[in-house]
Amino acid sequence: MYVAQPIEWTDRGVVMLDQRLLPAEEVSYTYTDYRDVAKAIRDMVIRGAPAIGVAAAMGVALGVLHSSANSVESLRSECTEICDTLAKTRPTAVDLFWAIERMKRRFAELSAHHSELSQIRQGMVAEARQVHLEKKATDEAIGGFGAEFMPTEGQVMTQCNAGALATGGIGTALGVIRVAFQQGKKIHVLVPETRPYLQGARLTAWELHKGGIPLTLITDNMVGHFLKTGKVAAIVTGADRIAANGDTANKIGTYQIAVLAKENKVPFYIAAPVSTFDLALPDGDHIPIEERSAREVTHLQGVRIAPDVHAAHPAFDVTPARYIAAIFTERGVARAPYTDALRALAQSAQLASAAPSTGS
């Protein structure tokens, strides 16, 4: 089954599919400068929490690989600058910061063991590639856990794009749907278009259609109607950041879907890797919400659709944990009360990653 490839490390550089042009055109660029990778993340050439984590890891590797530093000390200070640049791209998805922290830790390990710059550089490239490989495995595991919660036959709603384009694997929410579909479940996906950036209409519809999974595209203001008329068996979305108590930031519009789901007794699930947890934040009120350009609201594909008035564009909202029936992760399924469940999953992920690494 077709799986989109949003990002890839190659000998020529980091190749990214320009998601801004989908579904009309499939255009890829090859990046050799980490500053261009940072710009690509900010400008949404690549988007989706895990995918921007992979892009950040590859950006750090690219920066270190092409740095002109000639001592470990100067390479270290350049690595810090590279990481700072990549960290300033998008504020909400914690995967970005998780990936940057991991690359920093790897630099520290490598520079403690090697004085040869080439070994440090190659080690950083290997780590970025490893991050990508692990994301693929993570998605498969999330899919396996989540698929069990999908109906044998019926409609499942999602939001935004939490598919292959958003992760570099098979996707989180769409990974769950994909695995369930491959198991023979007769799933039909309801895809809200996800204004203003239209990740649902442009990306999720494109991915599902290419993968042969049946779908119906709806506008965002049809969500209540479809939930109320009993046409939806379950909802599954991704996440950009999950606080210690289970409150979850995801694409703007997710909160109202979750509230309507509860009102209509439809289970609302989150599918996300443990790297999306931010257990240092007690609740969702502490999650930084990215405010994007109002032009993305007043214009559609460059065409003005509103008068020249003030427009708001919070790119994410927070769904309180009480609306979430379960959170699917690669280490298992969390259910309320989330504080203990998330902590246990995070510990289990830590133990798994303490197993032998990729070598030094």
79/274 with CB nearer ligand MRU: 274
Residues in 234-273 at the binding interface with ligand MRU, rule: CB under 6 A: 237-240, 250-251
253: Cβ contacts below 8 Å, ≥ 6 apart: 159, 160, 192, 194, 195, 220, 223, 317
Annotated catalytic residue: which of 139, 220, 240, 278? 240
With CB under 6 A as the contact rule, which of the stretches 47-55, 142-150, 214-222, 352-360 interacts with ligand MRU? 47-55
| Closest distance of CB 11 from ligand MRU, Å | 28
Cα distance between residue 260 and residue 255, in whole Å: 9
Question: φ, ψ for residue 24 (rounded to 5)?
Answer: -65, -40
- CB-based closest residue to ligand MRU: 238
Q: Residues in contact with ligand MRU, total (CB under 6 A)?
A: 18
- Give CA separation, 167 vs 3, 95, 238, 322, in Å: 11, 10, 10, 26
> Which of 4, 13, 45, 48: binder of ligand MRU (CB under 6 A)?
48
14/170 with CB nearer ligand MRU: 170
329-360: buried (b, 16+ CB within 10 Å) or exposed (e) per residue? bbbbbbeeebbebbeebbeebeeeeeeeeeee
Can you spell out the DSSP letters for 18-38? -TTSTTT---EEEE-SHHHHH
What strand order describes the sheet that includes 277-278? 277-278, 241-243, 248-251, 316-319
- Give CA separation, 72 vs 33, 75, 79, 179, 343, in Å: 20, 5, 10, 45, 37
51/82 with CB nearer ligand MRU: 51
Question: φ, ψ for residue 309 (rounded to 5)?
Answer: -120, 170
**Bond preceding residue 23 cis, omega within 30 of 0:** yes
Question: φ, ψ for residue 237 (rounded to 5)?
Answer: -130, 170
110/272 with CB nearer ligand MRU: 272
Residues in 149-168 at the binding interface with ligand MRU, rule: CB under 6 A: 160, 162, 166-167
107/268 with CB nearer ligand MRU: 268
Counting contacts by CB under 6 A, is residue 125 touching ligand MRU? Answer: no
With CB under 6 A as the contact rule, which of the stretches 46-54, 223-231, 330-338, 341-349 interacts with ligand MRU? 46-54
| Closest distance of CB 195 from ligand MRU, Å | 12
124/342 with CB nearer ligand MRU: 342
With CB under 6 A as the contact rule, which of the stretches 22-30, 32-40, 231-239, 334-342 interacts with ligand MRU? 231-239
**Bond preceding residue 314 cis, omega within 30 of 0:** no
Is residue 240 annotated as part of the catalytic site, yes or no? Answer: yes
| Closest distance of CB 307 from ligand MRU, Å | 26
Q: Which of 275, 327, 332 is nearest to 54 (CA)?
A: 275
The 49-88 site mask, x for binding ligand MRU (CB under 6 A), equals xx--------------------------------------
Q: Is the dihedral of CA 332, 266, 320, 100 positive or negative?
A: positive
The 286-325 site mask, x for binding ligand MRU (CB under 6 A), equals -----------------------------x----------
Counting contacts by CB under 6 A, is residue 138 touching ligand MRU? Answer: no
For residue 301, the cross-strand partners are none
Can you count the helices (H) and strands (E) in the chain?
12, 16
Pairing of strands 332-334, 326-329: antiparallel
Which tokens go with 114? 């090697």
The 191-230 site mask, x for binding ligand MRU (CB under 6 A), equals --------x-------------------------------
| Closest distance of CB 17 from ligand MRU, Å | 14
Q: Residues interacting with ligand MRU, by CB under 6 A?
A: 47-50, 93, 160, 162, 166-167, 172, 199, 237-240, 250-251, 315
Residues taking part in catalysis = 240
